[in-house]
Every structure is written in structure tokens, then in C-alpha cells.
Amino acid sequence: MKKYTKGKLNKIPDELVEIMLDRQEEQGNKRDASVFEKYLDTSKDSGGFYWDSTVERYETWNRALRYKNFDAVLKHPANVKNKYPMLMWVSDIEGGVKKKRTKRVVFMEKNGKYVAWYNAESFEEAEYETSSCGWKYAEPVIEEQEQPVELTIDEIAEKFNLKPSQIKIKKG
């Protein structure tokens, strides 16, 4: 049964609200869900927390709360209990995780670095990789939810330079 049902919190998973409350406390405010009922992005000065001053950072909270991609925060390494191995964007350049990045299977953190299989961009590839390397920065790969594409028979016919009567749709 859902615990947080008032205002804007009604549409947010309870697990995510708990993380919001943790960040609120970490920034020196009392644990109080009511400050988020009207505005999910309530700042530290108003009893909430600054998104950019959290381990998840601004972009992650933005994706989760404004674009409803809750996994952005829920699957962030700081919030996953058995987090490794994990498919992550890695970089040695600060801010590079968003600009110049590489997809790798990270299997641990050690001495302030994320250790990944050298050339593995998927869990399948990681099965055959024996070399590893370390990266300074990482964030989880969050797959965007695919939206179905709707096309009419006429649109398909036009694309393939056919008559609509020449098209037969089959499943599979």
C-alpha cells in the first residue's frame, strides 16, 4: 500500500520519496515529506534539498521528477544495494560522462575508481573479457523507454514506393 499519497507525491514511488527524504536530511533539513507535496523540486532553503548537491546530481533528479524516469534515481549506483555488475557510462573527464563517454560493464569500485571490463559494452561481452581498467567517473546507463511507431498502410506504401494493395502485414 502506498505510503505517500498527498499532492504531487501521490505519483512518485514510495522508494523514491524515501531517497528524497534521505537527501533532505543529508543537507541539514528535518525529514518531512510534506514540503514536497506541492513542489517536488523544493529547494534546501524551503526545507527540501538542492539536486546538484546530491550524489545523483541535477540531471538525474531532473529526469526522475520532471520526466517521470524514476529509474534514473532508483537505479543510480548510490541507491542500488547489489549494484555490480552494472552497465554504465564511464569517463576520465569530469563532466565527460555526458559528453565524451564510453559504455562499459562496471564490476566494482576501488580506490575512488570504477573498475570495468576492458572492452565489454554488454553483459554478454563481459562473459568473455579478462582485462579490466579503471575510470574516474561513471553513471548508470538508463535505457529510454521505447515508444511504438504508428504507421498507416499508405505511409508504408509511400516509403517503399508501392501501392497499398501490394502490402501484406504479418507478425513476427
pLDDT digit string (tens) for 64-89?
999 999 999 998 878 887 778 989 99
Tell whether 133 is covered by a domain: yes
Tell whether 105 is covered by a domain: yes
pLDDT of residue 134: 94
90 & 134 share domain: yes
Asked if residue 155 has pLDDT above 70, the reply is yes
Last residue of a domain, one of 29, 54, 77: 77
Strand-pairing partners, residue 106, are: 86, 116
The range of the structural domain enclosing residue 68 comes to 7-77
**Prediction pTM value:** 0.54
21 & 37 share domain: yes
* Number of domain units in the chain: 2
- Assign 35 to helix, strand or coil: helix
25 & 67 share domain: yes
Residues 6 or more apart in contact with residue 14 via CB below 8 angstroms: 2, 3, 4
Tell whether 172 is covered by a domain: no
